[in-house]
Amino acid sequence: MHRGKGMKFVGDSRVPSKEFRKPNIPKDYSEYPGKTEAFWPNFLLKEWMIGSVFLIGYLLLTVAHPSPLEGQADPTDTAYIPLPDWYFLFLYQLLKYEFASGPFNVVGAIIIPGLAFGALMLAPFLDRGPERRPSKRPLPTGFMLLAIASIVFLTWESVANHDWEAAARQGEITEEVEIDTADPGYEIYSGAACISCHGDNLEGAVGPTLVGTGLSAEEIAEIAVNGIEKDGAQVMPPSWDGTDEDLQVMTEFIAGLEAE
């Protein structure tokens, strides 16, 4: 047999040929039974169901716990105790410390938060290894736990040291009521020491509102004469120094005030 006669060269199958090269197209999902599903309608239906459950739960939460609204802002009220939203409480508490307040406000408001959040830019360079377990990544894990512990501690301190009762009184929304300033009871009230704490229209200032208290005239007179004590402390001192007749007229006037 002559050389090459009756033989056919088929080439090396391990070397891809341009003529037989297949495009880079992923396999159809049907070739992976049990491992995937169609986007429409299976996957999308699940997403809609989860979104609907979350939305209904959120709406129920807003109905059960409405937003804590307060009265109209008064920039002249120096006794007002401000409180930010819960996600800023840790920064609010930070500004209470001496090293971050007063003349050092820039430290607590800009420098420390700027360094903390700017450190996030170093996250990709702290540990570039392939490990995903937290125990195998000590530096990122340690910094993360330190940040979480600091935020939780400062938030807790802010909540624990806030006077919630005073905040509820100062932010209480009182409905408007028409005050008859010509009434003898109001004239006595305006001339007494009560007006400095309860306001010109009895809407409340340092003290609570006197509109719609639900107390009788005798109970109001008892408070005016003897004050109010709570937990052994004098919350409201005795403030009445007039006659019994004037006290009766004033307390009957206050007891008759009802919010519209």
Which of 24-38, 75-89, 233-247 has the largest mean confidence? 75-89
Mean of all residue pLDDT scores within the chain: 79
User: What are the backbone dihedrals phi and psi of residue 228, each rounded to the nearest 5 degrees, phi first?
Assistant: -130, 130
SS3 content of the chain, % helix, strand, coil (to 5): 50, 5, 45
What is the reported pLDDT for 258?
A: 66
Nearest one of 64, 62, 78 to 170, comparing CA atoms:
78
Confidence label for 123 from pLDDT (cuts 50, 70 and 90): confident
H or E, element range at 151: helix 138-160
User: Which pLDDT value is given to residue 117?
Assistant: 84
pLDDT band at residue 8 under the 50/70/90 scheme:
low
Distance, CA of 189 to CA of 94 (rounded, Å)? 43
Quote the CA–CA distance of 187 and 171 in Å, as a whole number: 27
Beta carbons of 207 and 165 less than 8 angstroms apart = no
Going 82 to 87 to 91 to 93, the CA torsion angle's sign is positive
Q: Give the pLDDT mean for 252-257.
A: 79
3-state secondary structure of 101: coil
Task: Provide the CA 41 distance to its chain's centre, in angstroms.
Answer: 38
pLDDT attached to residue 16: 57
Query: Minimum mean pLDDT among 2-6, 72-76, 109-113: which range?
Result: 2-6
Task: Quote the pTM value.
Answer: 0.51
Report the candidate in 256, 246, 254, 243 with the shortest Cα–Cα distance to residue 188.
246
Instruction: Look at residues 255, 245, 191 and name the one whose alpha carbon lies nearest to residue 223.
Output: 255
State mean pLDDT over 138-167: 89
Quick check: helix, strand or coil at residue 228?
strand
Distance CA 224, CA 237 (A): 8
**Is residue 257 scored above 70 in pLDDT?**
yes
Q: Cα–chain-centroid distance for residue 170?
A: 18
Q: What is the pLDDT of residue 89?
A: 92
> What's the average model confidence in pLDDT over 104-109?
87
Work out the widest C-alpha separation in the chain, in whole angstroms.
142
Q: Is the pLDDT of residue 156 over 90?
A: yes
Question: What is the Cα–Cα distance from 99 to 108, expressed in whole angstroms?
Answer: 8
Q: Work out the pLDDT band at 250, boundaries 50, 70, 90.
A: confident
Output 197 or 29, whichever has higher pLDDT: 197
pLDDT above 70: residue 10: no
